[in-house]
Amino acid sequence: MKLLITGAAGQLGTELRRQLAQGGCALGSIPEKLNRATVIATDVGVDGMEALDITDRHEVMAFVRHHQPDVIVSCAAFTNVDGCETNRDAAFKVNALGARNLAMAAEEVGAKLIHVSTDYVFSGAENGGVALDETAQPGPISAYGSTKLLGEEYVKSLCSRYFIVRTAWLYGYAGKNFVKTIRNAAKKFGAVEVVNDQLGNPTNAEDLAYHLLKLCVTREYGIYHCTGEGICSWYDFTCEILRLAGVDAKVTPCTSAEYKAKHPASTNRPAWSALENRMLACTVGNEMRTWQDALKCFFENWKPED
């Protein structure tokens, strides 16, 4: 089996490559069909990887025709939420046109496409305390969410063998993420202020990658939610991060409005984006850990440089 991974140097792409190389992770073994898989790792400007600009349709088509992958895992994205607002063209090219290009190429060679999307496709309107399953109607409130939703629409319309997998609050061993940023800031300054009125599901990249690999050997096509089990606020998440990191710092909760007043250039985030992994549970099985257990495992294995 041959897998093409875009954004392979990022936290999810790195985790996928690790599990494929090691044959599994803390959750279990990867599917047997993937034990001797050929991995084509691509990114932009990363030494040791094949360069692939997903925003260039001709380049993508030529690359995929040449390599003839069985599965394309699309991890490349413009994920800087504030940056998407100030650089909308770049966000559109990567998140929407990049998805279009990969969908067209996958369809031409008969490959399956795993397209990683986000909870930001939802408006954040309170849902009576009920997590959003795959039947919920999107309604993004940011450029990031809007371009990611358009990417989903391109995938659905241009590719017949797709898995659209929405995740949220992702962190992993590679790259930058909230867990590392908040731990380092608290250690440096001794205090952090975090919003307590935005709720969602922290997700360990290890858990997400494991489920993407489970999906890719099936024909259970469709839209999936794949996040850590349990709901918390960014404030709750921060408190648990610092507890597990052993960092003694003051954590002050604030509202989104208070944060916006202090950081007027910041983008509006969904207040309620808790997702339910219903499609996973009804198909290949939902083995996502609670966000607390997955975070504990992360800190047991992560080796910070300082």
**CA separation, residue 275 to residues 168, 203, 279 (Å):** 8, 11, 11
CB atoms within 10 A of CB 44: 15
Please enumerate, as own/partner, the contacts of 180-188 that have beta carbons within 8 Å and a separation of 24 or more. 180/304, 182/238, 182/241, 182/242, 183/241, 183/242, 183/245, 183/247, 183/304, 184/306, 186/238, 186/242, 186/245, 186/247, 186/249, 186/251, 187/245, 187/247, 187/249, 187/306
Catalytic residue among 120, 144, 171, 235: 144
Catalytic residue flag (residue 154): no
Give the helix/strand (H/E) hosting 67.
helix 57-67
Residue 281: per-residue pLDDT: 98
pTM: 0.96
Residue 280: per-residue pLDDT: 98
Q: How far is residue 196 CA from its own chain's centroid?
A: 22
Query: Tens of pLDDT along the chain (306 residues)?
Result: 999 999 999 999 999 999 999 999 999 999 999 999 999 999 987 888 889 999 999 999 999 999 999 999 999 999 999 999 999 999 999 999 999 999 999 999 999 999 999 999 999 997 788 999 999 999 999 999 999 999 999 999 999 999 999 999 999 999 899 999 999 999 999 999 999 999 999 999 999 999 999 999 999 999 999 999 999 999 999 999 999 999 999 999 999 999 999 988 888 899 999 999 999 999 999 999 999 999 999 999 998 877
All domains of the chain in start order, with CATH: 2-177+201-230+273-289 (3.40.50.720)
